[in-house]
Amino acid sequence: MRDGMTRVETYGTELEAEMALNQLQAMGISGVLEKDDADGLMPQLDMIEGIVLLVFPEDAAQARAILQGTGGDGSGPWTCPACGEEGEPGYDACWNCGRERM
């Protein structure tokens, strides 16, 4: 399920994660929740365990905008839909790959 999907956010509790997922689904974005346990390889890190919210890459930018409440109104941080880099507020194109902000 994780293949091809992009992490949007990590939550400390399942409740928070489910609320966020419901928010996305209300906007027509489908996502999945996955327990982030580092695949059990590093049990000493279980204190940073969380619930990861994953969506398809084409929905990632919109999902982040919804969760951050920016709604893509042209202000605040944004994420490049092409390469996933964090875009600078105030810029209309990705510094990394040149993709225009959506």
Tracing tokens 């982040």 back to the chain, one arrives at: 64
Q: Is 85 in the site for Zn ion (CB under 5 A)?
A: yes
Q: Is 94 in the site for Zn ion (CB under 5 A)?
A: yes
Tokens of 53: 């919210």
> Least CB distance from residue 6 to Zn ion, whole Å?
13
Spatial distance between the Cα atoms of 93 and 7, rounded to a whole number of angstroms: 21
Q: Which residues in 52-81 contact Zn ion (CB under 5 A)?
A: 80
The dihedral built from the CA positions of residue 73, 55, 85 and 58, taken in this order, carries a sign that is negative
How many residues sit in the footprint of Zn ion (CB under 5 A)? 8
Tokens of 57: 């890459």
Q: Which residues in 12-41 contact Zn ion (CB under 5 A)?
A: none
Q: Is 83 in the site for Zn ion (CB under 5 A)?
A: yes
> Least CB distance from residue 73 to Zn ion, whole Å?
20
Tokens of 92: 């209309």
Interface residues with Zn ion (CB under 5 A) are 80, 82-83, 85, 94, 96-97, 99
